[in-house]
Structure 1
């Protein structure tokens, strides 16, 4: 079966009047297997509202995970959510891509409001 990424607008709860633009993606092979996507969200006036980093991967410790991070226009981490399984496993568990997207919507607010590295945003 061909890999089908999530509908990012659903996960991020992007308002219909906003525009979500993909800035790029990066993939890597085994043993650290995964893919990352980078998106910018613009409001109806064209102003940058947020930047997102979404991932589906097996990390250096061999743990499966997928999730996302939302950064505000100033580059500060505003929200994040992660599940301990790959996207395809989440789709299988939730029995549909739509249900998996809804499961990824839950956002956790970071414990610190300190700005994170802009390296992620520049990718």
Structure 2
């Protein structure tokens, strides 16, 4: 994010602080208003402090301008963030329905490359 959308870091810091102050209950998560916090290996009573520490690290990064060194993406989210077109291609064009829409893999690739704004 630092190299493509640095303002997102400050927005994430703000959102983490808001989430830490107003942790949503089960009903609000069930209604889809909030996503549950992923299991970070901490007991529930320590999650709020962890969110604040994470927000502090983001703020420090924004204030000092220190960004992590570029690295190969490791998670699904990182791959999708750095290569959204590739994620869409692999996730959508080679789905279970591919044989119903295209004759073979080469045909699917041609379809992707000739679709405006995708290829």
Q: Aligning the two structures, in what range does the TM-score lie when normalised by the shorter sequence?
A: under 0.3
Higher helix share: 2
Q: Rg: which structure is higher? A: 2
